[in-house]
């Protein structure tokens, strides 16, 4: 081999070595773009043909076909006998859809990223696809649509689902992901989850979802995401939902605290009406979440897990940590207000430089003393209604603790 040929060979080899191969060992070696871990909070939006009947769940078609009694009676009492599920599509009218209103609400919520269901298991695409114009992608499967989505809309996240249906080889998952990481227009910024086949779920991918509502409450070895629904029984909007079916703010903030403390992101789902609107209960929850994050986001966004996740004495406290201007801080997220205004924590080790405060409280630092059995006792001052930063869940900020 001549010098020129050898030089060309080495250049080709270097390019090849710098590319991700269509196998999981290579794909999993790609570093996760930092923006995802820093974001912590995202919103998932379910909108599709299932939003038209909007009863029971987004799995309406399957549940109807499998003779779920509620849906059999619903269809018998409200629709003609020859009605089919595709007939609902013409009623997905979206006449009140307002992208600016959606964007405003999502911004107010404090979420740093949004995942939109582009195609649910029913197979209906929510964009003008060149591959699913006739609502039939049985032969082509879903890959042509994924390439189309990435090239046309350049998403920061490709969030796959339906991995329970087949193994990764059936979907040609690794071929798509190697293209996504090597040659796609979002190759440097995109992140993906783990639902690329029943045999790789919770094992491979950029970050792990494992199952829906996955909240292990312990630190994980890999980056993960808790995808949960504000309606406890459905991801799609339900007209027959009751108030008690929705997460309360304390329940939601508990999920946020536990998830972020253990190194996860939280992806909070809402369902959209067939008219394209966000119903008031979702608006209310997201607005309250945003107000809480405005006060307490310092302890959430860009935080890292601390040495302890759940306190050893006060089990209603979860920890995060962050370095600001080369100074390490520990954040104790209180899911309850302590009795007698005294918070006893077992995990932090105090020092002569320990300083304690509360995010959003402007009345100064808090008094503290070492706890005789180890840890710290923090004396919370009496606060009137105008001084307390939040109605639910408070964040203690500590400096000079180990």
| Other beta carbons less than 10 A from residue 358's beta carbon | 26
Structural domains counted in the chain:
2
Residues 113 and 250 in one domain: yes
Residues 332 and 285 in one domain: no
- Residue 1 belongs to some domain of the structure: no
The C-alpha atoms of residue 10 and residue 292 are separated, in whole angstroms, by: 55
Q: How many separate helices (H) and strands (E) can be counted in the chain?
A: 11, 13
Tell me the whole-structure pTM to 2 decimals.
Answer: 0.93
- Residue 112 belongs to some domain of the structure: yes
- Residue 304 belongs to some domain of the structure: no
Cβ atoms of 186 and 203 within 8 Å: the answer is no
Cβ atoms of 219 and 263 within 8 Å: the answer is yes
Checking phi first, is residue 340 left (phi over 0); if not, alpha (psi -120 to 50) or beta? Answer: left
The total number of residues shown for the chain amounts to 402
Residue 189: partners with Cβ closer than 8 Å, 6 or more residues away: 33, 35, 156
Per-residue confidence in pLDDT tens, the chain, 402 aa: 555 665 555 445 434 558 999 999 999 999 999 999 999 999 999 999 999 999 999 999 999 999 999 999 999 999 999 999 999 999 999 999 999 999 999 999 999 999 999 988 888 889 988 887 666 545 556 788 999 999 999 999 999 997 677 899 888 999 999 999 999 999 999 999 999 999 999 999 999 999 899 999 999 999 999 999 999 999 999 999 999 999 999 999 999 999 999 999 999 999 999 999 999 999 999 999 999 999 999 999 999 999 999 999 999 999 999 999 999 999 999 999 999 999 999 999 999 999 999 999 999 999 999 999 999 999 999 999 999 999 999 999 999 999
Residues 191 and 287 in one domain: yes
Residues 243 and 387 in one domain: no
DSSP states of 159-221 = ----GGGS-HHHHTHHHHHHHHHHTSTTTTT-EE-S-S-TTTTTTSSSSB--STT---SS--S
- Residue 303 belongs to some domain of the structure: no
- Residue 236 belongs to some domain of the structure: yes
Residues 183 and 216 in one domain: yes
Most distant CA atoms of the chain, gap in Å: 83
Residues 240 and 331 in one domain: no
Residues 178 and 326 in one domain: no
Residue after which a domain boundary falls, among 297, 326, 352: 297
Radius of gyration of the chain (CA): 25
Q: Domain limits at 352?
A: 317-399
The C-alpha atoms of residue 187 and residue 185 are separated, in whole angstroms, by: 6
- Residue 333 belongs to some domain of the structure: yes
């Amino acid at each position: 081999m001549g010098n020129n040929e050898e030089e060309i060979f080495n250049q080709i080899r270097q390019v090849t070595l710098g590319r991700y191969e269509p196998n999981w060992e290579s794909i999993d070696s790609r570093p996760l773009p930092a923006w995802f871990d820093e974001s912590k909070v995202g919103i998932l939006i379910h909108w599709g043909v299932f939003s038209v009947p909007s009863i029971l769940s987004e799995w309406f078609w399957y549940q109807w076909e499998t003779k779920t009694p509620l849906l059999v009676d619903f269809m018998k009492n409200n629709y003609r006998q020859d009605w089919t599920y595709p007939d609902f599509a013409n009623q997905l009218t979206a006449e009140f859809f307002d992208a600016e209103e959606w964007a405003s609400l999502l911004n107010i919520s404090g979420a740093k990223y949004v995942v939109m269901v582009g195609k649910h298991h029913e197979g209906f695409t929510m964009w003008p696809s060149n591959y699913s114009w006739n609502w039939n992608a049985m032969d082509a499967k879903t890959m042509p649509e994924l390439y189309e989505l990435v090239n046309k809309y350049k998403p920061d996240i490709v969030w796959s689902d339906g991995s329970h249906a087949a193994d990764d080889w059936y979907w040609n998952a690794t071929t798509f992901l190697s293209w996504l990481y090597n040659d796609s227009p979002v190759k440097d910024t995109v992140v993906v989850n783990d639902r690329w086949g029943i045999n790789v779920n919770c094992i491979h991918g950029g970050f792990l979802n494992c199952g829906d509502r996955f909240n292990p409450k312990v630190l994980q070895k890999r980056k993960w995401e808790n995808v949960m629904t504000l309606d406890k029984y459905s991801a799609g909007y339900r007209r027959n939902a009751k108030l008690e079916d929705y997460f309360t703010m304390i329940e939601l903030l508990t999920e946020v605290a536990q998830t972020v403390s253990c190194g996860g992101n939280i992806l909070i789902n809402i369902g959209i009406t067939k008219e394209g609107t966000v119903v008031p209960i979702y608006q209310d929850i997201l607005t309250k979440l945003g107000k809480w994050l405005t006060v307490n986001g310092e302890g959430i966004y860009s935080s890292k897990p601390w040495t302890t996740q759940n306190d050893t004495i006060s089990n209603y406290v979860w920890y995060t940590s962050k370095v600001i201007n080369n100074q390490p801080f520990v954040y104790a997220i209180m899911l309850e207000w302590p009795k007698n205004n005294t918070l006893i924590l077992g995990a932090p080790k105090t020092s002569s430089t320990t300083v304690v405060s509360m995010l959003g409280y402007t009345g100064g630092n808090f008094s503290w003393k070492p706890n005789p059995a180890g840890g710290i006792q923090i004396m919370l001052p009496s606060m009137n209604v105008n001084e307390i930063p939040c109605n639910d869940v408070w964040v203690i900020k500590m400096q000079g603790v180990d």
